[in-house]
Structure 1
Amino acid sequence: MILFPLLLLAQAAAPAEDAPLPSLSARENAERFERCADLAIDEPQRAIDEASAWRMSGGSFAARQCLGLAYAQLERWVPAATAFEQAAHEAEVARDGAAANLWLQAGNAQLAAGNAEKAQSAFSAALGTGALQGLSRGEAHLDRARAMVALGNTAGARTDIDRALEFAPADPLAWLLSATLARRMNDLPRAQKDIGEAVKRAPDDASVAYEAGVIALKSGAEDAARAAWKGAIAAQPGSPAAKASEQALTQLDGGVAQPVAAKPVQPAAAKPAPSGR
């Protein structure tokens, strides 16, 4: 989403109106994007320079997208979000179907930067394009739900998660977040049902096991909680969920009734498949 945030620091100055940028063919832009996106993973600073030069030599919105990927790799989420947003606007002007994916990347970058309101707007823009279908539409609803939770809008988050389950019923993260939200809303029957669905789909995921333990403890099943947390530690030792499970077991042994909730994961904006270039 599966995995996810204002001025561009490396944006070149705009050329004079009487000196238009040269243009590259769709094939040239697609090939250059692949090279630049790979560079963004291995050498992000070089990718920033490459994307900026590419823009000046007639690059399409794909050049801004590569810039966003490079900033995301450096965890510079605000300029990454700006680059993705500008790329999305350019793609919309070009009537290119890549706009929806670019809005999703912008939303995840804003969420990683802690800008939940801007993230929600970006995810809404992605959904508003009408280009997302099936799993991708479900994941967009799930992303927007995460932004709504951060904003304290639990009712809106519930609606979006239910939509995500409609479009992406096989996604264990959707069931996990649904269970977590239900627990926070004190709907334990729904939380138990949904965490059960998450466990079916991801039996070795520590985050799922951790949440299963929290729900079990809140439901009064201490032994089940212990078993779930031990399972999380065994499944993915050293992971954030495993560490949270260790803390929860320590607190339970110390007589603390409810463990501290694990810190939610904020996925970075991932490299997408090229589209429409």
Structure 2
Amino acid sequence: MIGSLLALLLMQVGLDPSAGAIPGLPDELINRPPRRSNEIAAVDALSSPRENYLRRCLTMAASEPEDALDFANGWRLVVEDDLELAQSSHCLGLALVRLDRFDEARQIFEIASAEAPNGLPAYRARLAGMAGNAALADGKPATAEPLFALALAEATRSADATLMAGFQIDRARALVASGRPEEAANALEAARASDPDNARAWLLSATLARRLDRIDEAQQQIEQAATLDPRDPAIGLEAGVIAAIAGRDEDARKSFESVISVAPGSDEAAQAAAYLEQLAQ
């Protein structure tokens, strides 16, 4: 069923060849004004108020993705506007992700972004970002990067600095996976400029700088990350690795011990314990 629907959608809306954590219901849709109710006798599943269709479909996709595909397909037969078209595609894409059908999900999310009204750039951005994340999950970073660039362009149009930073981080992930670390470093620099309080941007910047053997730069960036989120075990772990590489074994030991103290039982704590054993040797 989804294959024939995808073929139909591709005829209706051309994919933009210049177009990854998948969010739930976008903020700008939560308080959407109620729409008129229609009697839809032909589709029993579509019995809730129209303004609840997306929420219901996304909830269904999380636990019953096959049912969500049927729900979204039925919804597309009775949509009232472009926003509902985008929302039904949004749910289709998420259901496909849950079924590990990432390439189909990527195409559907691209279509959803194109279908969404031009006046909702933040929603268009999130949908393009979902397409990028589906491509990353499918092991196709070269396909993902231009999708994140498209998402960034829409986020920029929305003037949402936090959203812009998030898509710069996503672009950086795709660029690193594509073997383009210098471009990734530039994307992370832009993310920090958009949202200076984004601890993840500083952490990933430090990690990339360390991998590029820019230890002084990495040290400055991990210090800023730790200032913003001192209890994040991933930050503590990276701080210890940077200190160890710099030959500051005592600082490394303290960082690793702090990770074990802050997040016992976590993957980061297990890795910190392994690093402590290496230091002891």
What TM-score bracket applies, with the shorter chain setting the length? 0.7 to 0.9
1:166 maps onto 2:193 in alignment: yes
Letter in 1 for 2:65: P
Aligned equivalents of 1:193, 1:177: Cα separation in 2: 12
Percent identical among aligned pairs is 35
Gaps of 5+ in 2: 12-32, 36-48
- Cα RMSD between the aligned structures? 2.6
Deviation (angstroms), 1:8: 5.0
Which residue number corresponds to residue 54 of structure 1?
A: 75
Deviation (angstroms), 1:137: 0.7
- Asked whether the 8 Å contact 2:54–2:91 carries over to 1, the reply is yes
Gaps of 5+ in 1: 1-6, 18-24, 256-277
Aligned equivalents of 2:243, 2:2: Cα separation in 1: 47
Letter in 2 for 1:156: E
Q: Deviations over 1:214-251 (max 9, x none)?
A: 10101111121122122222222333322322332233
Deviation (angstroms), 1:67: 1.4
- Asked whether the 8 Å contact 2:237–2:259 carries over to 1, the reply is yes
Aligned equivalents of 1:76, 1:42: Cα separation in 2: 15
Q: How many residues align?
A: 239
Structure having the higher helix fraction is 2
Q: Deviations over 1:53-106 (max 9, x none)?
A: 2123335111110112223344443332222112112226x6643211111111
1:72 maps onto 2:97 in alignment: yes
Aligned equivalents of 2:91, 2:76: Cα separation in 1: 10
- Asked whether the 8 Å contact 1:100–1:132 carries over to 2, the reply is no
Matches of residues 7-22 of structure 1 in structure 2 within 5 Å? 8-9=2-3, 11=5, 14=8
Which residue number corresponds to residue 167 of structure 2?
A: 140
Letter in 1 for 2:233: A
- Asked whether the 8 Å contact 1:103–1:123 carries over to 2, the reply is yes
Q: Relative to 1, partners in 2 of residues 1:46 and 1:212: Cα closer, same or farther, differing over 3 Å?
A: same
Deviation (angstroms), 1:192: 0.7
Q: Relative to 1, partners in 2 of residues 1:100 and 1:183: Cα closer, same or farther, differing over 3 Å?
A: same
Which residue number corresponds to residue 112 of structure 2?
A: 87
Matches of residues 220-231 of structure 1 in structure 2 within 5 Å? 220-231=247-258
Output the TM-score relative to the length of structure 2: 0.76
Which residue number corresponds to residue 108 of structure 1?
A: 133
Larger CA deviation: 164-173 vs 225-234: 225-234
Aligned equivalents of 1:8, 1:114: Cα separation in 2: 22
**Pick from 180, 196, 200: which aligns with 1:153?**
180
- Asked whether the 8 Å contact 2:54–2:88 carries over to 1, the reply is yes
- Asked whether the 8 Å contact 2:6–2:108 carries over to 1, the reply is no
